Chain A
Amino acid sequence: MQNEFIPLLLLMLVAAVICTAMVTLSWVLGPKKNTPYKASPYECGVQPAGNANERFPIKFYLVAILFVMFDIEVVFLWSWLTVFNSPLTGLDFKIFSFMEVLVYLSTWIVGYAYVVRVGAIDWDETTSLHPEKLGQTAQEAN
């Protein structure tokens, strides 16, 4: 049983040696001319502008999180649907599993209703936020 894993170990060893060699050699052999431009963060070849520590809207993040959650919901639904649709499935199981899925979906619907209600995926902040909280933006708008 042990012998089966020797090729795998060898592969790991070779990979480690090659990787270490590549990184170390380029570090040892490569010329080191440091310029300020080189030391600056890479921003697609353009000179970096502004501070990295600035505020940015997290709407995209919230939408991404919600997307992942509903994506997972679809994954579960899909596997259920495959069985549900099969001609081999008995009526008993169809009714039973349909009820189960309804219960499962209801939790998602409640969550979605809450998310919409508190304005988590509201793209236009001016409709959901209090005018005072908009601060600068509100004054600029006027």
Chain B
Amino acid sequence: MNYTIPTVDWSLVLPFALVALTGIVALIIETAHPKRDNGLIIGVSLTGLAATFVLLLTQLVLPPARTFGNMVLRDQFSVLLQLICVAATAVCFMFSDGYLREKKIAFGEFYPLTLWALSGAMVMVSTDNLLMLFVGLEILSIALYCLAGMSRSEARSEESALKYFLLGAFASAFLLYGIAFLFGASGSMSLPDIQKAVTGLTRDTLPMPVFGVMLVLVGLGFKASLVPFHQWTPDVYQGAPTNVTAFMAAVSKVAAFGALARVLVAAAPLHQYWFEALYWIAIATMCIGNLVALVQKDVKRALGYSSIAHAGYLLVALLAYTRDPDKVSLGTTVFYLIGYAAMTVGAFAVVSLAAKGDRDGSRYQDLHGLYRRAPFATVMLVLFLSSLIGIPPTVGFFGKQLIFLDALRTGLVPLAIVLAVNSAVSAYYYLQIMVAAFVSEEGAARPVSRKPGAGMTIGVCVCAAGVIFASLLGGYVQETTRTAALQAKPVPGRVQNQMEVINR
């Protein structure tokens, strides 16, 4: 047997190994003294995340590298997305403390599971191998199924876990089926190899890779909650504990779009077969997300639909990039994900204040009187919602502006117009949430909302800093991802040819 042990660059896997290890340490603490050392668990988890964050920052300047037989890839794109995931999780942990105590959810299970889910998301964005991508997706998803059902006294939480599990398993099957087809067509699981193999196929050999790409897009579209595959989103976002929803909305979406970007780049030679489908999916995602959100009576549900709409905006950015990678940078997507993570996690953090006892108050009237009890958090909620609308000084505005300009630059004018109209429509329900927080609590269904703890204040401040100052990073992100994009550049010649298909 002539097996040589591959030389492994451990620094590439160290970030997610560190996160997984932190989860194991947190579980060991829980095992030693069940339900005693809650503070210690939080401390260890946050320390682990901080260490990972610093480690990733040092890796940001390193050149792209691969290891484990090309299974793990580190480039600027993956490091940036991992940074977003780690930061979003850290903020979730900061505000979870009070919420978990209020709802009597076990600390020893929440923190390790969230950390493992995070490690799955990090694996998902730092690979261009489909098998590794699938493993990452499953690590992320299985932990999330458990987390969604964490609030065991609420039937709604259980229901959301079951729904998420069933639909998620279904989507995973789609993804796996697609991967099998792509493997059959190209003889490889690695996306660059697949890209090479599907370039210049004939009429007879085309159906298999096209079918494979479509199935993979269905699987990832489910995770990213694009419209025909979005039905689980509002139910799960509403039913899951609010801190889990925040994690899901930010981390799971970042991971899904990271994977989607790599798959779309690899599938660029088949551009003409999927571009128009995704074009209409983007329009449907933006419109349905925002229009259905208008009639919601539940804040978490409305924010769930808002996250669907934002997935639509992100898809526009990706489509513009795959259409013309020379004119448009992948940095737009990354930049929007930074802003999206900050404002969504922040908004959910403030909404989590409305939980009382073992019930999750999340209807609009449950927010009444929030301003009196938590003035600082409410003002911050206004900031996050303004950013979600896209009001100028916030990151939400600059992100949308970049996507808008990218769409115009690549000739996707209809998408740009739909995006602008949707931003205006969305203002209505975001303003409704704001108003609900400022109404006095007389006449409220039940007087609610805890006083925010220190963790909540810090977490909300971090998000606010992200919303206000992330705009300064815009240029840097664009520049950094430009070097990363070299790793995964669509084949320009073929993409140009597909232009007339769309413009006809």
Which A residues are closer than 8 A to B by beta carbons?
A: 83, 86, 88-90, 92-93, 96, 107, 110-111, 113-114, 117-118
From A111, which residue of chain B is reached at the shortest CB distance?
B27
Judged by DSSP, the binding face of A is helix
Given A96-B5, A110-B28, list of 8 further CB < 8 A pairs?
Answer: A89-B1, A89-B3, A107-B24, A110-B31, A113-B28, A113-B31, A114-B30, A114-B31
7 nearest A-B pairs in the assembled complex, by CB-CB distance = A88-B1, A117-B31, A114-B31, A96-B5, A113-B31, A110-B24, A114-B27
- In the complex, the answer to whether A93 meets B27 with C-beta atoms within 8 Å is no
A35 to B318, CA, bound (A): 63
**Tally of contacts, chain A with chain B, CB under 8 A:** 26
- In the complex, the answer to whether A117 meets B34 with C-beta atoms within 8 Å is yes
Q: Can you name 11 A-B residue pairings with CB atoms under 8 Å? A: A83-B1, A86-B1, A90-B1, A90-B3, A93-B1, A107-B24, A110-B28, A113-B28, A113-B31, A114-B31, A117-B34
Distance in angstroms from A59 CB to nearest chain B CB is: 17
From A87, which residue of chain B is reached at the shortest CB distance?
B1
Distance in angstroms from B123 CB to nearest chain A CB is: 15
Mask: chain B, 1-37; 1 = CB below 8 Å from A; 0 = not: 1010100000000000000000010011011001000
Judged by DSSP, the binding face of B is helix
Note all chain A residues with C-beta closer than 8 A to B24: 107, 110
Q: In the complex, which range does the number of interface residues on chain B fall in?
A: under 10
Beyond A107-B24, A110-B24, whether A92 also contacts B5 by CB under 8 A is yes
Which B residues are closer than 8 A to A by beta carbons?
A: 1, 3, 5, 24, 27-28, 30-31, 34
A86 to B3, CA, bound (A): 13
Note all chain A residues with C-beta closer than 8 A to B27: 110-111, 114
Distance in angstroms from A125 CB to nearest chain B CB is: 16
A111 to B34, CA, bound (A): 14
Distance in angstroms from B319 CB to nearest chain A CB is: 35
From A112, which residue of chain B is reached at the shortest CB distance?
B31
Distance in angstroms from A136 CB to nearest chain B CB is: 20
A90 to B2, CA, bound (A): 9
Note all chain A residues with C-beta closer than 8 A to B5: 92-93, 96
A92 to B4, CA, bound (A): 9
A111 to B5, CA, bound (A): 29
A124 to B5, CA, bound (A): 49
Note all chain B residues with C-beta closer than 8 A to A114: 27, 30-31
A96 to B3, CA, bound (A): 12
Note all chain B residues with C-beta closer than 8 A to A86: 1
Distance in angstroms from B369 CB to nearest chain A CB is: 35
A85 to B34, CA, bound (A): 41
A111 to B112, CA, bound (A): 11
A125 to B367, CA, bound (A): 41
From B204, which residue of chain A is reached at the shortest CB distance?
A1
Note all chain B residues with C-beta closer than 8 A to A111: 27
From B20, which residue of chain A is reached at the shortest CB distance?
A107
- In the complex, the answer to whether B3 meets A93 with C-beta atoms within 8 Å is yes
A96 to B24, CA, bound (A): 23
From B32, which residue of chain A is reached at the shortest CB distance?
A117
Note all chain B residues with C-beta closer than 8 A to A93: 1, 3, 5
A113 to B24, CA, bound (A): 12
From B28, which residue of chain A is reached at the shortest CB distance?
A110
Note all chain A residues with C-beta closer than 8 A to B28: 110, 113
- In this complex, which of B24, B27, B31 has the most chain A Cβ atoms within 10 angstroms of its Cβ? B31
Note all chain A residues with C-beta closer than 8 A to B34: 117-118
Note all chain B residues with C-beta closer than 8 A to A89: 1, 3
Note all chain B residues with C-beta closer than 8 A to A107: 24
Distance in angstroms from B107 CB to nearest chain A CB is: 13
From B106, which residue of chain A is reached at the shortest CB distance?
A118
From A117, which residue of chain B is reached at the shortest CB distance?
B31
A114 to B1, CA, bound (A): 39
A86 to B30, CA, bound (A): 41
Distance in angstroms from A109 CB to nearest chain B CB is: 10
Note all chain B residues with C-beta closer than 8 A to A117: 31, 34
